[in-house]
Amino acid sequence: MRLSTDFIVVGTGVAGLRAALAIASAGARAVVLTKDRADESNTEYAQGGVAVALAEDDEPVLHVDDTVAAGAGLCDAEAVRVLVEDGRRYMSELIGWGAEFDREGGRLQFTREAAHSRRRILHAGGDATGSEIVRSLLARARAEELIEFVPYAATEGLVVEGDVCAGVRFLDPLTRSAREMRARAVVLASGGAGQLYLHTTNPAVATGDGMAMAYLAGAQVADMEFVQFHPTALNVEGAPRFLLSEAMRGEGGVLRNADGKRFMPRYHAGAELAPRDIVSRSIVAEMDRTATRTVFLDMTALAPRYVRSRFPKIYETCLRLGLDITREPAPVSPAAHYFMGGVRTDLDGRTTLGGLYAAGEVACTGVHGANRLASNSLLEGLVFGARAGRAAAADRAGGAAPIAHRAVVNDEETPDAGRGSGGEIALAVRKRVRRLMWERVGILRSRQSLGRALSEFEQIAGARLRTPSRNFLTVATLVARAALWREESRGAHHRVDFPARDDARWRAHSIQQRDAEIGAGETVSLVEAMNSQIG
């Protein structure tokens, strides 16, 4: 394992892998760190597909319009244009590299999801799109001699010298001791933070460490109040909140209440294909109205053979839990799914901290605004991962060789003597934070609920916490603080005490930086401001 290199990439989802490939194509070395195995990431669990305007009846401008509409007034127009236009090129490149998307009669097969005006969602293996993208990118990356993978190496902090990111602190995968790796620059592609919530569709690795590390190192984060809750996570007692893809509703699935009655047409003209935030809140309202804890996703009107072939992973998973979705509706309820906010970047992944780049769910480019359009996340990771890797290699080309590594001890952590009880403390902290986030900073928010959450977070922060717990608590605090600051309802952020959208006062991005008061940046000038500030 190299402990000094040209560039460090944190994360092996679509954004991290594509960034590493861009760095290698520029002739530089990249060490890719991940806290689990190389193929474990949020990308791996993405079922529905990837949105791209490649169908004959589709146009890039329609994809732009749908993305902007879902973003509830906070999308940055230039970022969306880059996503859609570059997305066509990078998806064609990925297919050329061997990614196998589902076809019919030799032609790419497109499906439709909520808030899309066209059938533009490519899928692979029915409902295994993310897995196929990771497979093809990993195969390409492993063939590159300039890319080295280091699995089971959890990154816990950034090394900053002279206001420039010069490397990372991580746990050695063999000794579990703290180590330091130096590089010309670091690309964060560590994914989201769904594990902050008691109920989530995200894997265990999605703990928000990248967001916390960047913030604690002095980089700006933006739009942290916007957390998307997926409407249809499987709700079976004792089972994980397995995601039931948006595409199931796109293919004709309907939502029914405990009485077996379809209810979405009463809440929105788009019914089951309304934007995710609306469907999630409608489900919460319907559960409250019927005094139940679940609703049901009904696929029984579709041919059983079609359901089994279109959604094989979902079908098999439900069947193992004793549920045949071709014969009976599946119990579902919302769960935390995706972070629109993150480390603030320009269109090439540059953050406000020199030497630090970010891409994918850990970053906030302004693409998603207040609410992500379904299946835009894989495309964002692909496009902005490539752009961040390319920019890092170009910006730092010919830089000085990294300083030799050294073993480090984080003086903010609890001493090793406390390791016996430290695990129990960390587990207790995580459980408490997750419940507070779900109950106080969840789908429905208020000044009272957010204030109580922040008060408890402050009490927890008074204890001596190890780095993972401190990172976890930091991200939770950033979300709650931004949610309290935004006194309106917009997209995925809903305040019961401010239920209306207020463009006159709140059409702005929340921006947070360590040791500074929360502030705002105008929507229309976020990218321009970033380019001016960094360039």
Give the pairing of strands 227-234 and 330-339. Answer: antiparallel
pLDDT level of residue 475 (50, 70, 90 thresholds):
very high
Catalytic residue among 276, 372, 430, 466: 276
Q: Are residues 206 and 262 in the same domain?
A: no
Do 216 and 56 touch, CB atoms closer than 8 A?
no
Structure-token pair, residue 309: 């072939």
Which domain range does residue 242 map to? 234-334
Please say if the pLDDT value at position 415 is more than 60.
no
Which residue type is seen at 299?
M
- pLDDT at residue 247, rounded to an integer: 86
Q: Are residues 165 and 270 in the same domain?
A: no
Q: Are residues 99 and 161 in the same domain?
A: yes
Going by C-beta distance under 8 Å and a sequence separation of 6 or more, which residues neighbour residue 480?
437, 440, 441, 450, 453, 454, 457
Please say if the pLDDT value at position 423 is more than 80.
no
Q: Write the DSSP assignment of 424-480 as a string of letters.
A: HHHHHHHHHHHHHHHHHSSSSB-HHHHHHHHHHHHHHHTS---HHHHHHHHHHHHHH
- pLDDT at residue 157, rounded to an integer: 97
- pLDDT at residue 522, rounded to an integer: 60
CATH code of the domain containing 348: 3.50.50.60
Q: Are residues 313 and 454 in the same domain?
A: no
**276 belongs to the catalytic site:** yes
Domain presence at residue 356: yes
Q: How many residues does the chain have?
A: 535
Q: Are residues 137 and 265 in the same domain?
A: no
pLDDT in tens, 53-97: 999 999 999 999 999 999 999 999 999 999 999 999 999 999 999
Q: How many CB atoms lie within 10 A of CB 425?
A: 16
Q: Are residues 211 and 324 in the same domain?
A: no
Domain presence at residue 49: yes
Do 444 and 284 touch, CB atoms closer than 8 A?
yes
Structure-token pair, residue 342: 């993150």
Domain presence at residue 534: no
Please say if the pLDDT value at position 498 is more than 50.
yes
pLDDT level of residue 114 (50, 70, 90 thresholds):
confident
CATH code of the domain containing 245: 3.90.700.10
Q: Are residues 319 and 208 in the same domain?
A: no
- pLDDT at residue 28, rounded to an integer: 97
Long-range contacts formed by 395-402: CB under 8 A, 24+ apart = 395/185, 395/350, 396/6, 396/7, 396/184, 396/185, 396/355, 397/26, 397/28, 399/184, 400/184, 401/4, 402/4, 402/5, 402/6, 402/166, 402/167, 402/182, 402/183, 402/184
CATH code of the domain containing 474: 1.20.58.100
- pLDDT at residue 147, rounded to an integer: 97
- pLDDT at residue 520, rounded to an integer: 83
Task: State mean pLDDT over 451-474.
Answer: 95
Q: Are residues 56 and 89 in the same domain?
A: yes
pLDDT in tens, 315-371: 999 999 999 999 999 999 999 999 999 999 999 999 999 999 999 999 999 999 999
pLDDT in tens, 122-167: 999 877 788 899 999 999 999 999 999 999 999 999 999 999 999 9
Q: Are residues 248 and 380 in the same domain?
A: no
- pLDDT at residue 276, rounded to an integer: 84
Q: pTM for the complete prediction?
A: 0.91
Please say if the pLDDT value at position 514 is more than 50.
yes
pLDDT level of residue 216 (50, 70, 90 thresholds):
very high
Burial 523-535, CB ≥16 within 10 A → b, else e: beebbebbeeeee
Q: Are residues 92 and 214 in the same domain?
A: yes
pLDDT in tens, 226-281: 999 999 999 998 888 888 988 899 899 999 999 999 999 999 999 998 888 899 99
Q: Are residues 326 and 345 in the same domain?
A: no
- pLDDT at residue 48, rounded to an integer: 61
Q: Are residues 68 and 216 in the same domain?
A: yes
Evaluated on CA atoms 224, 225, 230, 233, the torsion sign reads positive
Strand-pair partners of 519: 511
Domain total in the chain: 3
